[in-house]
Chains A and B, each alone.
Chain A
Amino acid sequence: MLDYRVLPAGDTALVIEFGDRIDRELSTLVLSLSQALDAERIEGIVETVPTFRSLMVHYEPLVLSASSLIARIDARMQKLGAGEIVGQVWHLPVCYDPRFAIDLDDVAKRTSLSTQQVVERHSGPIYHVYMLGFLPGQAYMGEVAAELALDRLETPRTKIPAGSLAIASRMSCVFPLETPCGWHVIGRCPVPLWDPVRSAALLAPADQVRFVPVSMREYETLATRASQGVLRIEPVSEFVGAVA
């Protein structure tokens, strides 16, 4: 039997909470419920917003009452089982050059690794996109290797450039817009994660990401093409299954 709580967030949203941790098993449940409800196209559901540990369902209460929505969710939960999710697999180029990676030396020092080892440890794993938030297109990707897990900066920076790749605790993010940030910046991605012209996000919750190190020269070529609007990046494959 699945363990979850349904909490009201006012009269137009419900939170379906699976736990209070960042955990791939919880994330699989959240994302599979999200994808299942979206596929059902239930009249009165406005949108679903998956996060690390819960799903928010925004609804129109004059069309769909909270009690009938909860009944639909309970019924869906019975069928959820182990949970299966569908996502896309991406290979994202990242330039770890110190000109972009302003905290790389500091991260190396704090973790007692060489900068080369930090890059290897970071670009090694396949990351799971838990959720998007904070800025349009900003994906929270985990897990960063345990030996790279650091608390946030004591004093956040007032500004980091768009495309900055940064880490904090077990999470990695590429920040799609220039923004204040308290994370450790260790690289830059030339692929825009948010296209302001088409208002489109590259990544979606449940996607999988590998960071592929590129040289400064390759970065510049890709960034130029991106700025001309001719950089096309396609997912390398589709991913179906539980989040491992």
Chain B
Amino acid sequence: MTPALRIISPGLSTTIQDVGRSGFQRLGVPVSGALDPVALHAANALAGNPGNTGALEVLYVGPTFAVDADDTRLSFAGADAAIAILADPDARGGEIISTMRSVRVRRGQVIRVGSLKNGATLYIAVEGGFSVEPALGSVSTDSRCRMGGWQGRPLVEGDAIALRHATATDRDEYRIDGLDLATPCRFRAVLGPQSDNFSEEEIKRFFAGEYTVSAGSDRMGMRLAGQTIRHRCGFNIVSDAIATGSIQVPGSGQPIVLLADHQTTGGYPKIATVISADLPALGRLPIGSRVSFAPVTVEQAVAARRELSATVSGIAGKMVRLAAPTAAAAVAARLLECNLISGVQDAAANA
């Protein structure tokens, strides 16, 4: 039988994402890819994969899935969650682990991710990666264009996502310490490309304003509610191409930041563009967050990109080996659940 993860409940919107497909925007094919590529890299590092390997991207509420493989190694990086590892679908309790670590799981076990905290995105990588055919060089799911990932759509109950490896490598588990995956409230942006369509005062108002990430935001765009921005001369422009992070201002005057699944071209003026180094943090921002924007130069943006690149390269150096549970500790853990705490502690201390 093909080793797989079998989806019992898909969560809110769970898709396979890697770093996306570039090179085909001239044919109308969006880039897609992980909203938070830093967390994607971290998940892959923990699973022992190359950083750009496709992983499950979870939004807000995670999936519950069963392990249909002898054993496999999973890793979780991104927002916080209390992940339950159950003996079977009907089991209660079970082991609860946090994110930012790897874990070895075996056939029949059920993993319940639950709701995310302190962020909108979580990445679940599997050692060796998923066995899905890339489309145009990427396994990223683009739901609108129905391409890539698992049948070009978010996962649903009953999907069995095939794994490349039937078993996990015999090695220790790791966690990552001190990687900043915070959700900041100020994002740096370069003016343009259509800042000419706005007066000096409107541009000032935009950068002085505070916005709320509103419902209706998705992988295509983050809709903002707040200060209305007026155009100098109408909101329709002849379509031109779109860069990820560009902040377009439609007729309503409420800005939209274009994210991974954005269309390749569009017809609204873009007042500014969030710098590439701040896109991963933007991507992990949940609905309801407060945000504002700070103008920077392209040179400052490139310096920030260099820093982010160093951060990503440094992820491997932040991995810390998790203490392997000793036989006594394993017994202790089991008995802990039965409130037999004191006697076991003594036994362990005397061992």
Contact = CB atoms under 8 A, between A and B. Distances in A.
Interface of A: 7-13, 15, 17, 20-22, 34, 46-56, 58, 61-62, 65-66, 131-138, 177, 196, 199, 201, 204-205
30 contacts: A9-B192, A9-B243, A10-B245, A10-B275, A11-B301, A11-B302, A12-B243, A15-B192, A15-B241, A20-B238, A34-B26, A47-B22, A47-B25, A49-B25, A51-B241, A52-B238, A53-B238, A56-B241, A56-B243, A58-B22, A61-B301, A131-B265, A133-B239, A133-B263, A134-B265, A136-B27, A136-B145, A177-B145, A199-B135, A205-B26
Nearest to B296: A11
Contacts of B240: 15, 17, 51-54, 56
B23 A15 contact: no
A7 B270 CA distance: 11
Nearest to A51: B240
Interface of B: 22-29, 135-136, 145-147, 152, 189-194, 237-246, 263-266, 270, 273-277, 298, 301-302, 305-306, 309
Given A48-B26, A54-B240, A137-B27, A11 B265 contact: no
A147 B190 CA distance: 43
Nearest to A135: B28
A62 B275 contact: no
Contact of B27 (A11, A17, A62, A132): A132
Contacts of B239: 51-52, 131, 133
B65 to A, nearest CB: 27
Contacts, number: 143
A137 B28 contact: yes
Contacts of B135: 199
B337 to A, nearest CB: 50
B190 A136 contact: no
A136 B29 contact: yes
A65 B238 CA distance: 28
B235 to A, nearest CB: 14
Contacts of B263: 133-134
Contact of A49 (B145, B152, B238, B265): B265
B192 A7 contact: yes
Contacts of B306: 62
B193 A199 contact: no
Nearest to A46: B22
B71 to A, nearest CB: 34
Given A52-B240, A56-B241, A196-B146, A9 B27 contact: no
Contact of A22 (B24, B189, B238): B238
Given A11-B190, A62-B305, A51 B136 contact: no
Given A9-B273, A13-B273, 13 more contacts: A7-B193, A8-B193, A8-B298, A10-B190, A11-B275, A11-B305, A17-B240, A47-B23, A51-B241, A133-B264, A134-B28, A136-B27, A138-B28
Contacts of B242: 9, 56
Most buried by A among B135, B194, B298, B306: B298
A196 B146 CA distance: 8
A55 B28 CA distance: 14
Nearest to B194: A7
Most buried by A among B22, B26, B145, B245: B26
Contacts of A13: 241, 243, 273
Contacts of A47: 22-26
A196 B238 CA distance: 29
Contacts of B276: 10-12
Contact of B238 (A7, A21, A138): A21
A230 B189 CA distance: 49
A46 B26 CA distance: 12
Contacts of A66: 298, 302
Contacts of A61: 298, 301-302, 305
